[in-house]
């Protein structure tokens, strides 16, 4: 089988990749780029944690520390987690799952990749004019007055927004227009529902960020008072604009994670997913509610008490569709024949860590509690449980799941499982103690701290080394499989969706030898 032509060997040479409009190749190029930035962002994280081994100066000074956490945050958010699953796995899998030859606009797809690369270059070039130290949130008036490459970094985020919009647009049109005959909306795998909901947020929220950032650039370069009180502007306005995008953006980050996990739980339980429609609709509900809760980031920014109470109440609503998903996944596993293969281990890791991340989000959404916890390590722990424990775990699970389809190779189960375990253990050691010290008042974004917090910081730092090692082990496991792995069968996990049942071991350039016709749902296992 593997001697046949497939999308990897159909065309050869650098140009055949650089100019490809094959969604699978574009997905792979995104995957490699995103993982490279993940390693870079991770390196910055380890430097941050190493600095925090002692209460005062360890390896860098205060200014450098501020630059490091800004770079870490900006890279992880804008170059890793937001494009993450949709641009890489989504691109690779979505047309295959729908029974389509490609996305609706293959050239726009390629353009989105190059816009991403351009954005990344602009972001990193900000280092040469002096690294930015505002935090990834770019809060005014500090960001309008501090020196360094603020304009470049903000321009980068602006550019990256277009990449995100292009991807979202492509997925929406593809889902509406290119489904195979018989692929009704409720026969679509839940991965598609999740990616589709994400795409809706991508195209509706991203322009708000773009305009906000543009205003910031205008203010900095032309000195027009928009956000800076000295010029007659309003700094809280920035926070409103910023979070009007960035709260929905956290669902741009988590919905694709949930989308992957829905597939993994069903396939590795070999059971029809429980509550298909509820899971599908809850994605849409999350996308909708995500636009109504941004004020929970501003409980202590001087908004009125009444507004605070309303945002707090609205925030609780998000817990409902998220809970619906969690319970439906649990019910799917119940009485299933679960196989604990590496992708499933990542999914179970997601389940455990995301539960903690989600529930602590409800703590933070509680107005009275957040007044105490705001800007402490409790917040840092919360969003890492969601972004890394949730999204990134699911991302890894998805990579291990679709790896045989992407490369035609199987990896070592032993090393796959070992790396998952290292990540789960290292993650908890790193971040659980941050809840404790946060609740005791350790503020975030500080390079020095009171001695009473040292033991927590040291545990956290040691955890981060285990965590880092776990991710590196996972990546090595995959890379080694390219050389040494056994050849994969066409459907190693006995899945029932089209990308496994109707393609070659490694799909051909236009995916299917003949147009698949769909006669049943995606979770009918035999």
Q: Using CB under 6 A as the criterion, which residues of the chain lie in contact with ligand HEM when the complex forms?
A: 42, 45, 48-49, 69-70, 72-73, 76-77, 80-81, 135-136, 380, 384, 387-388, 392, 430, 444-445, 464, 467
Indicate the residue among 331 and 439 with the shorter CB distance to ligand HEM.
439
Site for Cu ion in 201-260 (CB under 5 A): 247
Determine the Cα–Cα distance for residues 412 and 440; give it in Å rounded to an integer: 43
Contacts with 352 (C-beta within 8 Å, 6 or more apart), sequence order:
389, 424
* Cβ neighbours around 281 below 10 Å, total: 15
What residue 430 binds from Cu ion, ligand HEM, none (CB within 5 to 8 A, per partner kind)?
Answer: ligand HEM
Which residues, listed in sequence order, are joined to residue 443 by a DSSP beta bridge? 376
**Burial class, 186, CB count within 10 angstroms (exposed 0-12 / middle 13-18 / buried 19+):** exposed
Q: What are phi and psi of 189, to 5 degrees?
A: -60, 150
Indicate the residue among 137 and 407 with the shorter CB distance to Cu ion.
137
The string over 318-342, giving b where at least 16 C-beta atoms fall within 10 Å of a residue's C-beta and e elsewhere, is: bbebbebbbebbeebbeebebeebb
Indicate the residue among 7 and 244 with the shorter CB distance to ligand HEM.
244
What residue 247 binds from Cu ion, ligand HEM, none (CB within 5 to 8 A, per partner kind)?
Answer: Cu ion
Q: Nearest approach, Cβ of 147 to ligand HEM (angstroms)?
A: 18
- Torsion sign, CA atoms 5, 7, 9, 13: positive
Q: Which residue has the tokens 């056994």?
A: 486
Does 374 sit near Cu ion (CB under 5 A)? no
What residue 48 binds from Cu ion, ligand HEM, none (CB within 5 to 8 A, per partner kind)?
Answer: ligand HEM
**Burial class, 234, CB count within 10 angstroms (exposed 0-12 / middle 13-18 / buried 19+):** middle
Indicate the residue among 6 and 137 with the shorter CB distance to Cu ion.
137
What residue 467 binds from ligand HEM, Cu ion, none (CB within 5 to 8 A, per partner kind)?
Answer: ligand HEM
Q: Nearest approach, Cβ of 383 to Cu ion (angstroms)?
A: 9
Q: Nearest approach, Cβ of 348 to Cu ion (angstroms)?
A: 26
Q: Nearest approach, Cβ of 243 to Cu ion (angstroms)?
A: 6
Indicate the residue among 362 and 410 with the shorter CB distance to Cu ion.
362
State which residue has the least CB distance to Cu ion: 247
What residue 23 binds from Cu ion, ligand HEM, none (CB within 5 to 8 A, per partner kind)?
Answer: none
Indicate the residue among 276 and 311 with the shorter CB distance to Cu ion.
311
Q: Nearest approach, Cβ of 249 to Cu ion (angstroms)?
A: 9
State which residue has the least CB distance to ligand HEM: 73
Indicate the residue among 365 and 426 with the shorter CB distance to Cu ion.
365
Measured between its terminal Cα atoms, the distance across the chain in Å is: 24
Give yes or no for a contact between 394 and 260, defined as CB atoms under 8 angstroms apart: yes
Determine the Cα–Cα distance for residues 163 and 161; give it in Å rounded to an integer: 5
Q: Nearest approach, Cβ of 18 to Cu ion (angstroms)?
A: 38
Q: What are phi and psi of 491, to 5 degrees?
A: -140, 70
Determine the Cα–Cα distance for residues 144 and 232; give it in Å rounded to an integer: 13
Q: Nearest approach, Cβ of 293 to Cu ion (angstroms)?
A: 6
Q: Which residues bind Cu ion (CB under 5 A)?
A: 247
């Amino acid at each position: 089988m593997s001697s046949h032509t497939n999308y990897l060997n159909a065309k050869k040479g650098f140009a055949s990749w650089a100019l490809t409009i094959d969604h699978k190749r574009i997905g792979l190029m995104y995957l490699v780029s995103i993982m490279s930035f993940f390693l870079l962002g991770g390196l910055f994280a380890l430097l941050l944690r190493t600095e925090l081994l002692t209460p005062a100066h360890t390896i860098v000074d205060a200014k450098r520390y501020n630059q490091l956490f800004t770079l870490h945050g900006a890279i992880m958010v804008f170059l890793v987690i937001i494009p993450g699953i949709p641009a890489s796995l989504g691109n690779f899998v979505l047309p295959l799952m729908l029974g389509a030859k490609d996305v609706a606009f293959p050239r726009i797809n390629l353009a989105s990749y190059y816009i991403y690369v351009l954005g990344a270059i602009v972001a990193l070039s900000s280092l040469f004019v002096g690294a930015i130290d505002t935090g990834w949130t770019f809060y005014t008036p500090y960001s309008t007055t501090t020196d360094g490459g603020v304009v470049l970094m903000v321009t980068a985020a602006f550019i990256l927004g277009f990449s995100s919009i292009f991807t979202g647009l492509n997925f929406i049109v593809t889902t509406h227009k290119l489904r195979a005959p018989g692929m009704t909306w409720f026969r679509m795998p839940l991965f598609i529902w999740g990616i589709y909901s994400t795409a809706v947020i991508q195209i509706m929220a991203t322009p708000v960020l773009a305009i906000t950032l543009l205003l910031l650039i205008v203010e900095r370069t032309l000195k027009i008072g928009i956000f800076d009180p000295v010029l007659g502007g309003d700094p809280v306005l920035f926070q409103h604009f910023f979070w009007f995008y960035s709260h929905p953006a956290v669902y741009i980050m988590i919905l694709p994670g949930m989308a992957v996990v829905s597939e993994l739980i069903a396939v590795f339980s070999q059971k029809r997913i429980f509550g298909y429609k509820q899971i599908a609709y809850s994605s849409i509900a999350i996308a909708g509610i995500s636009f109504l809760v941004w004020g929970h980031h501003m409980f202590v920014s001087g908004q009125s008490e009444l507004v605070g109470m309303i945002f707090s109440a609205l925030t609780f609503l998000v817990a409902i569709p998220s809970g619906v998903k969690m319970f439906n996944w649990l019910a799917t596993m119940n009485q299933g024949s679960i196989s604990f293969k590496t992708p499933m281990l990542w999914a179970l890791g997601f389940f455990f860590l995301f539960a903690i991340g989600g529930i602590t989000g409800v703590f933070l959404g509680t107005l009275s509690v957040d007044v105490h916890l705001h800007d402490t390590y409790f917040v840092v722990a919360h969003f890492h449980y969601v972004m890394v424990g949730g999204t990134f775990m699911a991302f890894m699970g998805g990579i291990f799941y679709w790896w045989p389809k992407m490369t035609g190779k199987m990896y070592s189960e032993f090393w796959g499982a070992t790396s998952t375990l290292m990540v789960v253990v290292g993650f908890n050691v790193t971040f659980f103690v941050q809840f404790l010290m946060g609740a005791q008042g350790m503020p975030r974004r500080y390079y020095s701290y009171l001695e009473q917090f040292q033991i927590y910081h040291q545990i956290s730092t040691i955890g981060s080394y285990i965590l880092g090692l776990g991710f590196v082990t996972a990546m090595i496991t995959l890379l080694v499989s390219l050389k040494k792995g056994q050849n994969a069968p066409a459907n190693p996990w006995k899945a029932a969706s089209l990308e496994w049942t109707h393609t070659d071991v490694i799909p051909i350039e236009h995916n299917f030898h003949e147009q698949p016709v769909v006669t049943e749902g995606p979770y009918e296992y035999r």
